[in-house]
Amino acid sequence: MQLKRENLIPALRLLAAQGEILVPTAVDEKVSKFAPWDGSSAPDLALVNTTLPPKDTLFPHQEGMYRYKTAGEPSLEEIVEAPARILFGVRPCDARSIDCMDKVFLGDKYEDAFYARRRANVTVIAHTCAQTGPTCFCDSMGLSPAEAPSADLLLSDTETGWLVTAQTEKGEAVAALWKDLTAEGGEAAPAPACTLKTNMSDALAGTLVSRFEDPIWDEVCHACLGCGTCTYLCPTCYCFDINHEDHGGEGTQFRCWDSCMFSDYTRMAGGHNPRPSKKERLRNRYLHKLAYFKERYGQILCVGCGRCVGHCPSHLDITAFIDKAAERFGEGK
């Protein structure tokens, strides 16, 4: 079924009754993110990619876990927050990133209750890429700019609007909601090619792990400032810290995004640090993205969104690293 361009606003209005809609929004000249739809204007569906990924919808930058009281009779009260939300216009790379976070937070022996509750109330409406951005490389990471299989609903660009494909029960509910606004017809535009190409392969992932002591890690880490921008902007980076705000006798325990690029991240009481320098930290980040996560969860933790490549103040580029490693270790495709 096809949703014509002129029916976008009516379609969003119908959706708005189901929950808060978050759409790609330019915050200022430099920064864009998923922000609440204003209820009337057409969202900017040409943005490839938003500066900030949509991960904070499911995994807030800072999230209260429980309130506590230590004065008098101590007490604990869990914070439960799971607003109904619709992420609208999520690119295939970011849709896959949500799939990666699901693997971590919804499974692997324990379910993370905070994430699970939010996740249950979020609907993901993905949007194919008619064109790709200057640092996009999802098709080198096993994705396609024209597919988002883990999204609830996929909107594929046509000449006059979008093909609507429901992919889950939540997606079918949205398609049903839109049935009077959609009609037969329309043909999806072919997938564009990504701007960046890189030579990633399973064989290279294995080789990188076995080359743990290779000089390549010394070479690549030189430029790193340890600023954490890559992890902050990465749609799949999910590490968190747990801390508290204490107001004398009562407070809130919260978790917040953390970064494996910070030295404090692994430093133990007493001072020992298993990843004491940026070499160990960058190596861990790259290996986590390219190899460790796949060993554990069966898929690669880089979705090729290109944010880290585009925003690193030192111009560190994971695709350049992959190519360098593939060439050096003879693991090119």
Residues 171-230 that bind another protein (CB under 8 A): 209, 212-213
DSSP symbols for 132-180: --TT--GGGTT--TT--TTSSEEEEE-SSEEEEEE-SHHHHHHHHHTTT
The single residue among 72, 190, 274, 298 that binds another protein, judged by CB under 8 A, is 274
Which span (13-21, 148-156, 221-229, 233-241) binds another protein, by CB under 8 A? 233-241
The single residue among 4, 13, 267, 311 that binds another protein, judged by CB under 8 A, is 267
The single residue among 9, 16, 203, 292 that binds another protein, judged by CB under 8 A, is 292
Could you give the string, one character per residue 116-155, with x where binding to another protein holds by CB under 8 A and - elsewhere? ----------------------------------------
Site for another protein contains 113 (CB under 8 A): yes
CA dihedral 265→266→267→268, nearest 10 degrees, is 120
The single residue among 5, 27, 70, 193 that binds another protein, judged by CB under 8 A, is 70
Residues 9-48 that bind another protein (CB under 8 A): none
Q: Classify each residue of 146-162 as buried b or exposed e, where b means 16 or more C-beta atoms within 10 Å of its C-beta.
A: bbbebbbbbbbbbeebb
- Is there a contact between 59 and 95 (Cβ–Cβ < 8 Å)? no
Collapse the DSSP code of 56 into the 3-class scheme (helix H, G, I; strand E, B; otherwise coil) and give the result: helix
- Per-residue CA distances from 32 to 200, 223, 261 (Å): 29, 27, 24
- Is there a contact between 286 and 237 (Cβ–Cβ < 8 Å)? no
The single residue among 72, 159, 269, 298 that binds another protein, judged by CB under 8 A, is 269
Q: Least Å distance between CB 126 and another protein?
A: 25
Site for another protein contains 254 (CB under 8 A): no
Which span (25-33, 40-48, 195-203, 260-268) binds another protein, by CB under 8 A? 260-268
- Residue 7's contacts (CB-CB under 8 Å, 6 or more residues apart) are 161, 181, 182
Report the half-sphere exposure of 125 (CA within 13 A, side-chain side): 25
Site of interaction with another protein (CB under 8 A): 65-66, 68-70, 74-76, 78, 104-105, 108-110, 112-114, 209, 212-213, 238-242, 244, 246, 249, 251, 253, 255, 258, 260, 265-270, 272, 274-275, 280, 284, 287-288, 291-293, 295-296
